[in-house]
Structure formats: C-alpha cells, structure tokens
Amino acid sequence: MNKFVFPLLLALLFGCGYRVAQDEVKIDIGDGQFLKNPRIFIPIFDNTTAYTEAEPELTRAIRNTLQSQRGLEVVNNRSNANLILLGNVVSFQRKRDESSTTKGTMDSEDSGGIADGELVSPAITIDVSVDLSLIYPDSKLGVDKLLWMRNFSRSATYRSSERLILSEGASAAPFINRSREKLSLKRLSEQMADEVVDQVKQDF
C-alpha cells in the first residue's frame, strides 16, 4: 500500500470521534464529564399554537432521526433514559404570497364534472418555530440539569389551489391543500430534525 495512503486511512478512521469497529457518541454534561452512547427519552412535544398537527409530526421526525444515529438510543420511558429532550411548538404561521399567484382555467370535462371556472394557485409558506431543551437527570444530585436550550425555526412553501366561479358541486381544493400542507410540514420536520441531531451531537 502506498505509504501516503495508509496514514490517510488511519486519520479518517480515528478522527472526529470515530473508532474502529465502534461508534461512540459523547455528550458533554459539564464539569469535565462526558456521557457515552446516551439513551434519550423524547416525550410528545407541547404545543402553544392552534395548529394541533404540528407537535406529533415534529416529535416523530426527531425521534426517528435520532434513532437512526449510531451510538444513540431513543427509549420509550424516562426511567430508562439518561438524557431527556423536551420540546414546545411556539409558533405556526401561514403566509400567502399573492405576487406568486398563478391562474388558469378549468372546465367541467377537465375536473370530472366538478367545476367550471377559474383555478387560482397562490404560494403558501408555513413557518414553524420550536423551543427544545436537552436535560441530564443527575441521579447523584437528584436534580435535572439543563445542558442547552435552543429555538429551531424552519419554513416550507407549497402551491395552494383555489377554484373560483364554480358552476356546480363543491370544490376539492380544501382537501388538496390540507394534504399539501401536511406533506410540507413533514418535509420541514425532517429538515429540522437534522439540525437537532447536529445540536445533540455537538460534542461528538
């Protein structure tokens, strides 16, 4: 093997917290102490907004993303955990961008006999903000120690559909838009989960 290649391989294997045949995560819990390969409990997030579907989607995405990380274990109850991640959805907003609205026409044949008129598609942006706290339950002192508290915010945009001047029947647009919004929230939650993993593993 080339004499330059072997040292490079060693650097890749042993650098940045990696170990050969072992994946190890170390969390700084203060006072020069580190928690190795932690077990994290993530209860369903609180939600102080009126949008009731935000907290289950965000909690699920963060649980799944952390669970997929080697050296971390997500547990189902507090008693088995040595770290606790608490969350609170503090803001959920929709913003309608009229400047990006597109228009088209729809006749009864195109819509299966549902509508005959104008189709308006403005862009809708959802903004979600979550406060997260990582807690270390210190069994020796009998207290919960706050390791960090941080706000995470993300946005996602989808194209709304609004049918106007309907000739007959009811519009399916509300159902379509709800589905698009849920898909956007799922994508946003997965992106935010990646940020949370980086924060949790900042001392990796």
Looking at residue 17, what is its pLDDT?
A: 38
Give per-residue pLDDT as tens, 54-83. 999 999 999 999 999 888 899 999 999 999
pLDDT(85) > 50: yes
Highest mean pLDDT (candidates 103-107, 111-115, 127-131): 127-131
Q: Check if the beta carbon of residue 13 is closer than 8 Å to that of residue 21.
A: no
CATH of the domain at 124: 3.30.160
Identify the sign of the CA torsion 18, 75, 153, 131. negative
Instruction: Judge whether 31 lies within some domain.
Output: no
Residue 97 lies in a domain: yes
**pLDDT tens-place string over residues 120-165:** 677 889 999 999 999 999 887 788 999 999 999 999 988 776 554 4
Mean pLDDT in residue range 110-124: 56
Q: Reduce the DSSP state of residue 44 to 3 states and report it.
A: coil
Q: Count how many domains the chain has.
A: 1
pLDDT of res. 115:
46
Cα 99 from Cα 84, distance rounded (Å): 44
In a domain, 181, yes or no: yes
Token pair 């490079």 in the structure block, residue: 8
Residue 17 main-chain phi, psi, to 5 deg: 85, -5
pLDDT tier at 2 (50, 70, 90 boundaries)?
A: low
154 in a domain, yes or no?
Answer: yes
Average pLDDT over residues 103-107: 51
- Residue 7 domain-assigned? no
The CA distance from 195 to 179, in Å, is: 25
In this prediction the pTM is: 0.72
pLDDT tens figures, 10-51: 444 444 433 333 467 788 888 888 888 899 999 999 999 999
Grouping H, G, I as helix, E, B as strand and the rest as coil, residue 109 is coil
pLDDT computed for residue 168 by the predictor: 46
Q: Is residue 105 domain-resident?
A: yes
Is position 24 within any domain? no
**3 lies in a domain?**
no
Structural domain that includes position 93: 37-200
In DSSP terms, 73 is beta-bridged to: 39
